[in-house]
Every structure is written in C-alpha cells, then in structure tokens.
Amino acid sequence: MSIDYKGKVAIVTGAGNGLGKSHAIALAARGAKVVVNDLGGSVDGSGGSISAAQEVVNHINAAGGEAIVNGANVTKEDEVAAMVKETMDKWGRVDILVNNAGILRDKTFHKMTLADFRTVIDVHLVGTAICTHAVWPIMREQTYGRIVCTSSPSGLHGIFGQANYGAAKAGMIGFMNALHLEGAKYGIKINLLSPSAKTRMTLDIGIPEPILDQMTPEAITAAMLFLVSEDAPSRAIVSCAAGGYARGYVVETDGIYLPPDDQTPEEIAARWDEISSTDNVHYYENSSGPSMNFMNKAKDFADKN
Ligand code: NAD
C-alpha cells in the first residue's frame, strides 16, 4: 500500500527548519501542494527571516513539486488568516494542517519569568489553536481534514526546566481530545506527534553524537505522513525517535470504590497502593468513562451489601 497526497493541499507551520522542513519536503514529494510557513526566528523565537522557508520552497519546486512560502507568525490571528486566504485563493482547499512551529525558553521554574511562560504557551498551544481555528470551517465544509499537532515527551512525561514548554505540549492532548469528538462527523481527524530528533533544538542538550545521528527528522516525518493520510487514525499520540514508534495513551487505573463512611483521606491513604495499581488500566473514549467505571463499582458494592 503506498500513501500519497495527490490533489491535497497542506500547510506546515515552522517548515523552514528541522522537522517542519522534512515534513514539507516529504508531503510535496508525495504529491501535496504545500504552504511552507515559517517566520524564520532563532530557537528562542527572536529575529525573523523568510529565507529558510524560501529555500525549502525552492528545493520542492526544483524537484518538480508545488509549494509557496509564507512568513506568518502563528501567534498572530490576522497573519494566519491571510495565510489561509492566500492558500484558498491559490489552491481552493486545505486538507492537511501540520502544527509544527515552536520555540524554547528553558529555565527552572523559579528562574522562569511569566513572560517566558506565556510566550512559549502562545507559540505552541495558542499558535496551534489559531492555525487550526483558521482551517476548521474549511475542513468542515469539505468534510475532510487531517490535523497533526506536535507535542513532546516533555508534555507527556516531563523534562526538567520546561514547565512552560511541557504545559503547552500537554495542553495539546486536551485540545486534540475535544477536536477529535467535534470533527468526527465532518471527516476531520486529529492526532499528536511526540518526537525526538536531531534539529537545531536538540543540538546542545548533551545527546551523544552517534545517538543523535540516528534521530533523523525523516524518521519522524514517516509517522506524520501516516497521521495525515486518508486512512489515518484519530486521537492517536505517536511517540517516535530514531526509528522507534509507539503509541501514547492517557489511561486511568481501575481504582476502588469507597462507601460514604469510608470516603476519608485516611482510607485513601490506606488504599493508595490499590488505587495506584496499574494492573488493570483503562483507556476511555471520552470523559464519561471514569464516571461509568465508578458508577459500576458503586452498583457492585450495593448489590453485594
Ligand atoms: P526548529 O527550531 O528547527 O524548527 C522550528 C521552526 O518553527 C523554526 O524554523 C522557527 O522559525 C519556526 N517558528 C517558531 N516560532 C514560530 C512562529 N511563531 N510562527 C511561525 N514559525 C515559527 O525545531 P524542531 O526541532 O524542528 O521543532 C519542530 C517542532 O517539534 C516544535 O514544535 C518542537 O517543539 C517539536 N519537538 C521537537 C523535538 C526535537 O527533538 N527536535 C522534540 C519534541 C518536540
């Protein structure tokens, strides 16, 4: 089974460098018309130049693909609206959105300014919402859309010094969960990538060179390509690095039931190991899952007593 994107239009944010560049080139090589968006800043978000994104466009067009450059800042609603309008004027649809633009402002929390906290949330989480909001009505109208948001092991599992970044990346899980439910009847699928790869973002964090060399952006792009394909899943979190691929889930333990007289912190402390046991974990389709589990436990207790 070969996967292609002929006739599809894709927007990739932050596509001047690293993962976004690899995503844009691969989508174009497989037939998509691609908007290569990037404001061209440094890793911490300062500065700006369209030249890196333009080089990606030149590369795609020289290889026989179709791409246009766009310098919108994903945190600016008017610039994103203009990018989507330009895309619609040129190609008449938007099938794929890869929310990839990102920056770092790492600091331990006691040294982190709230300005740096807000800025990172703004680029990753609010930027993802702004770009998605701009294409959402188009995808609903088309009854077709594929959206990937770029989360991180930092959001799923935690990294020292990344309270801002981790919060933004974890926020994407809730964002995806809601849009998965809201988009289902319009043929819109939304998924998350949780990558680790050799890009300018990871050059200085102490990963040994031989390992870093295996962590290619192209390995991440393979998962992205699957997640925006016709037969993509929805609400999947795909963790990937160096050729390893796994699926992430938010799960809950089975837990216990405590009758009213036992609903005390002391009883919870006494039963903490049972509450925490991962022997029987649940993955729920939506937020009513835990309540149903607890109602069933309460009913079982009532039936037995
Ligand atoms: P990168 O710095 O090479 O690329 C990020 C790009 O986003 C840059 O070209 C930058 O100019 C652009 N950008 C930043 N702010 C923007 C804005 N407001 N509007 C438009 N473009 C903007 O980094 P990368 O490693 O390729 O990161 C891509 C995505 O993957 C990011 O969201 C990052 O957080 C995420 N990620 C990367 C890794 C990794 O190991 N490299 C791990 C987890 C998550």
pLDDT at 154: 97
70 lines ligand 1 (CB under 6 A): no
Say whether pLDDT at 205 is over 90. no
Residue 257 designated active-site: no
Q: Which pLDDT band holds residue 99 (cuts at 50, 70, 90)?
A: very high
How many C-beta atoms lie closer than 10 Å to residue 251's C-beta?
10
Distance separating alpha carbons of residues 244 and 198, to the nearest angstrom: 14
183 lines ligand 1 (CB under 6 A): no
Considering only CA atoms, which residue is closest to atom 11 of ligand 1? 40
Residue from 69, 57, 68, 70 nearest 25 by CA: 57
pLDDT at 223: 98
pLDDT at 203: 87
pLDDT at 8: 98
Q: Which of 21, 169, 175, 199 to mutate to test the pocket of ligand 1 (most atoms within 8 A of CB)?
A: 199
- For the chain, give the mean pLDDT: 97
Residue 11's identity, in one-letter code, is I
Catalytic residue among 5, 165, 186, 249: 165
pLDDT in tens, 228-248: 999 999 999 999 999 999 999
Contacts from 77-84 at CB under 8 Å and sequence distance 24+? 77/130, 77/134, 80/130, 80/131, 80/134, 81/134, 83/11, 83/35, 83/37, 83/134, 84/11, 84/134, 84/135, 84/138
Say which residue, 116 or 46, is predicted with more confidence: 116
Distance separating alpha carbons of residues 37 and 200, to the nearest angstrom: 18
Q: Where are the beta strands (DSSP E) in 242-302?
A: 244-248, 252-253, 281-282
Answer whether 256's CB lies under 8 Å from 273's CB. no
SS3 (DSSP) at 239: strand
Say which residue, 181 or 43, is predicted with more confidence: 181
Q: Taking the alpha carbons of 296, 297, 299, 304 in that order, is the dihedral positive or negative? A: positive
19 lines ligand 1 (CB under 6 A): yes
Q: State how far Cα 32 lies from the chain centre.
A: 20
pLDDT at 164: 98
pLDDT in tens, 258-270: 999 999 999 999 9
Considering only CA atoms, which residue is closest to atom 8 of ligand 1? 14
74 lines ligand 1 (CB under 6 A): yes
- Angstrom CA distances, 1 to 15, 212, 296, stand at 27, 31, 43
If you measure from the C-alpha of residue 21 to the centroid of ligand 1, how many angstroms do you get, rounded to a whole number?
10
Mean pLDDT on 99-110: 97
Distance separating alpha carbons of residues 29 and 24, to the nearest angstrom: 9
pLDDT in tens, 37-75: 999 989 988 888 899 999 999 999 999 999 999 999 999
- Two structure tokens written together for 243: 């050729």
Q: Which pLDDT band holds residue 296 (cuts at 50, 70, 90)?
A: very high
State the helix-helix crossing angle for 114-121 and 163-183, rounded to 10 degrees. Answer: 30
Say whether pLDDT at 275 is over 90. yes
Say whether pLDDT at 181 is over 90. yes
If you measure from the C-alpha of residue 19 to the centroid of ligand 1, how many angstroms do you get, rounded to a whole number?
7
Considering only CA atoms, which residue is closest to atom 34 of ligand 1? 102
Say whether pLDDT at 1 is over 90. no
Mean pLDDT on 120-127: 98
Say whether pLDDT at 218 is over 90. yes
34 lines ligand 1 (CB under 6 A): no
Burial 85-115 (b: 16+ CB within 10 A, else e): eebeeebebbbbbbbbbbbbbbeeeeebeee
pLDDT at 96: 99
